[in-house]
Chain A
Amino acid sequence: MLRINRDKCGYCGTCVAVCPEDALELIDAYLSLERDCIACGICARACPLGALEVVHEE
């Protein structure tokens, strides 16, 4: 599952552009998970601010 830390996010769209699933979207001023996410973690790597985290549930 992808956790978005809105307090850290800078609304820059970097994660949107690298997501292979086109799951993320910047709505006017906030980031939102709009479609199915495969928890690959690429967006979390690319984020300049560390606002994304893939958490694996037990």
Chain B
Amino acid sequence: MKNKYDMLVVGGGPAGALAAKTAAEAGNTVCLIEKRPAIGTPIRCAEGIGKECLFEFIQPDPRWISAEIERARLITPNGTSVSLEQENPGNVVGYILDRKIFDRELVWQAAEAGADVFVKTRATAPIMEGGAVRGAKVMATGSPADIRADVVLAADGTEAQFARWAGLDTTVPLREMMSCAQYLLTDIDIDAASTDFYLGNDVAPEGYLWVFPKGDRTANVGIGISGRKSRDGSRAKDYLDRFIAKNFPGGKTIEAIAGGVPVCQPLPCTVADGLMVIGDAARVVDPLTGGGIGNAMYTGKLAAQVASKCISAGDCSKAALMPYDTEWRASRMGKSLERNYRVKEFFITLNDKKLNVLADSVASVGLAEFSVSALIRELIKRNPRMLFELKALKDALQ
């Protein structure tokens, strides 16, 4: 470990890995630190990703693809199942990854590009000088050290403490924290090409329960509920255990994980003097779906591109780093985060009865396009009597 790099990346998830790889390829000296003893484990993810989203960054490799997905099904409180697939059924629309391998592959690529990588090495505080971040104090397998850098990328996921210590407020309001639990269940009957989403206030209040296939008879069965609905006896784990007892009584659990997905709006600003915030730490998870792998890779790569220019120019001030913030907000991701935040805020106001009506109205429709906006347009078209309530949705599309 050197004591000075061009760039220091805190966190070895998809955001940090893409950032480190991109910056190293651009010729910078890069150090990536991960506090856990192994990259990618324990996972905190249901491992689903859209096809385009993945292809933008990496070509699929059977070593880390667990399943190919052709459709999504929404199952509403009254049992209606709305199947969403492309016009030509059988097309792959997404994948379920094996993130333990996937995350490692990404970090591997960063290392191959020339980045230094250290595990069991935790940032404990930013090094601050004149209000600017100049590196981090770290605990490297029990030994304290200082790592200085022209710019630090905070890629520390849900916890997002690094940016917080540097003065940005990353706290997630309780109601906007999805409290999640998941089992990897095997020996269960599932549709191995479908990601299933169960909705309803008895199943998953202000959230959803998912069954994401990992093979013919194996799936990630998990749940996220709003933090404000979580209390003793009705926590994410309680809802999940009840669902499994009813639907997959013979399932065998080979992995149990927990997690938190921030579904709040992104940080008001994702740069500061000497600091850029990327991935979950920047709160750029899709607030409707909870998907954040693609957005983490996108922000990681973009931040590193902007940082590379700033490093060469010798100016990593907030103003110089700002193009990163401006560009992601104007991007397709930025727009879709904004829209889906409003869509989510609308859906959590629905009671089960309305949810059923809406689902029934689109149950028999084949969507020409596999997207949130296509589904919303269809909902609006088919429910003229709910026009007033659906106005919020309509506005969100604009």
Q: How many interface residues does chain B have, given as a range?
A: 35 or more
Interface hub of B37, B172, B258 (most chain A Cβ within 10 A): B258
The CA-CA distance from A12 to B165 in the complex, in Å, is 20
The CA-CA distance from A20 to B260 in the complex, in Å, is 16
1/0 contact string of A6-36 vs chain B (CB within 8 Å): 0000111111111110100111110000000
Q: State whether A18 and B171 are in contact (beta carbons under 8 Å apart), knowing that A12-B258, A26-B159 are contacts in the complex.
A: yes
Q: Is residue B179 within 8 Å, beta carbon to beta carbon, of the partner chain?
A: yes
Q: Is residue B382 within 8 Å, beta carbon to beta carbon, of the partner chain?
A: no
Could you tell me the dominant secondary structure of chain A's interface residues?
A: loop
Q: State whether A12 and B237 are in contact (beta carbons under 8 Å apart), knowing that A17-B260, A22-B161, A46-B260 are contacts in the complex.
A: no
Give the chain A neighbours of B135 by CB distance below 8 A: none
Give the chain A neighbours of B180 by CB distance below 8 A: 12, 14, 48
Query: Number of A-B pairs whose CB atoms are under 8 Å?
Result: 101
Contact B36–A48 (Cβ < 8 Å): no
Contact A27–B181 (Cβ < 8 Å): no
Contact B232–A50 (Cβ < 8 Å): yes
CB distance from B228 to the nearest CB of A (A): 8
Q: Is residue A4 within 8 Å, beta carbon to beta carbon, of the partner chain?
A: no
Contact B122–A28 (Cβ < 8 Å): yes
CB distance from B339 to the nearest CB of A (A): 24
Q: Is residue A47 within 8 Å, beta carbon to beta carbon, of the partner chain?
A: yes
The CA-CA distance from A28 to B161 in the complex, in Å, is 14
Closest to A25 in B: B161
Q: State whether A16 and B235 are in contact (beta carbons under 8 Å apart), knowing that A10-B42, A28-B120, A46-B174 are contacts in the complex.
A: no
The CA-CA distance from A10 to B165 in the complex, in Å, is 24
Q: How many interface residues does chain A have, given as a range?
A: 20 to 34
Of A13, A15, A22, A27, which is within 8 A of B122 by CB?
A27
Interface hub of A14, A19, A20, A47 (most chain B Cβ within 10 A): A14
Q: Is residue A3 within 8 Å, beta carbon to beta carbon, of the partner chain?
A: no
Q: Is residue B299 within 8 Å, beta carbon to beta carbon, of the partner chain?
A: no
Contact B227–A45 (Cβ < 8 Å): yes
Contact B161–A14 (Cβ < 8 Å): no
Contact B35–A22 (Cβ < 8 Å): no
CB distance from A22 to the nearest CB of B (A): 6
The CA-CA distance from A13 to B164 in the complex, in Å, is 15
Give the chain B neighbours of A27 by CB distance below 8 A: 35, 122
Q: Which 3 A-B pairs have CB atoms at the shortest separation, nearest pair first?
A: A14-B260, A10-B258, A48-B236
Could you tell me which A residues sit within 8 Å of B by CB distance?
Answer: 10-20, 22, 25-29, 42, 45-50
Some 26 contacts from A to B, beta carbons below 8 A apart, are: A10-B257, A11-B42, A11-B258, A12-B257, A12-B260, A14-B259, A15-B260, A16-B159, A17-B159, A17-B170, A17-B260, A18-B173, A18-B174, A18-B260, A20-B171, A22-B164, A27-B122, A45-B174, A45-B231, A46-B179, A47-B230, A48-B235, A48-B258, A48-B259, A49-B236, A50-B232
